[in-house]
Copies of this chain bind each other. A is one copy, B any other.
Amino acid sequence: MSTVADDRLAEPGLEPGLRERKKQQTRSAIHEAALQLIDERGPEATTVDQICQAADVSSRTFFNYFPSKAAALLQLPETPVTPEARERFLAASGGLVWALCDVVGGISEIGPDRIRLKKLLSRHPELVSPASSMMLELRTQFVALAAERASSQEQAELAVALVMAAFGCTIHDEGRDAPLAARLRNTVEQLHGAFDEQLV
């Protein structure tokens, strides 16, 4: 969904051309600037123009790369269900929910500044809502994927709901630098355990 057309040199194992390299560079510059400024001043107090200035791009370019301020900060993939992820999902031996944890967890395996983001989120709770909002937009993709292994649409929805609930928890639980997928699985187990105690 990136507005900037994908360079064909991007896909194969070929070394990316100058063009592609510059694009990654720009994208990264914007993201870095957003991360830095929002960290210092908070999300509301940081304007897109300030980020652009720091990243040395025009505000128009900013919106060529990201659809919103929050998107620039979080950098969620527009299409989390890559063909490879799908392969792994379909081939996974465990249960549906289990496999989903891996796919959903995969969105943040990029790992470099995920920790910074985590801290940002706990320092600025106003960001939780936009972040979850963006996750929600991916929901339908996850449901579609889940449906490929579920025995019914209902099941697919339930499984995704479960994992999204776990995601909601991991967003709130402070600390923990374990990979997201692992945390998700852990939380799902806790949710399972919850049924044996509070409910009746």
Contact = CB atoms under 8 A, between A and B. Distances in A.
Interface of A: 94-98, 128-130, 132-133, 136-137, 139, 150, 154-155, 157-159, 161-162, 164-166, 168-169, 172-173, 187-188, 190-192, 194-195, 197-200
Contacts of A195: 192, 195
Copies in the complex: 2
A129 B140 CA distance: 12
B190 A169 contact: no
Given A98-B199, A136-B129, A165 B155 contact: no
Nearest to A128: B136
A116 to B, nearest CB: 22
Q: Considering the complex of A and B, which 7 residue pairs feature the smallest CB-CB distances, nearest first?
A: A165-B165, A96-B198, A95-B199, A95-B198, A161-B165, A95-B200, A158-B194
B136 A162 contact: no
Given A132-B132, A133-B129, A137-B129, A159 B97 contact: no
27 contacts: A94-B199, A94-B200, A95-B198, A95-B200, A96-B198, A97-B198, A98-B199, A98-B200, A129-B133, A130-B133, A132-B133, A139-B168, A154-B190, A155-B197, A157-B169, A157-B173, A158-B169, A158-B194, A159-B194, A159-B198, A161-B168, A161-B187, A162-B165, A162-B194, A164-B165, A164-B168, A192-B199
Contacts of A137: 129
Nearest to A161: B165
Given A129-B133, A133-B129, A161-B165, A155 B96 contact: no
A78 to B, nearest CB: 15
A157 B198 CA distance: 12
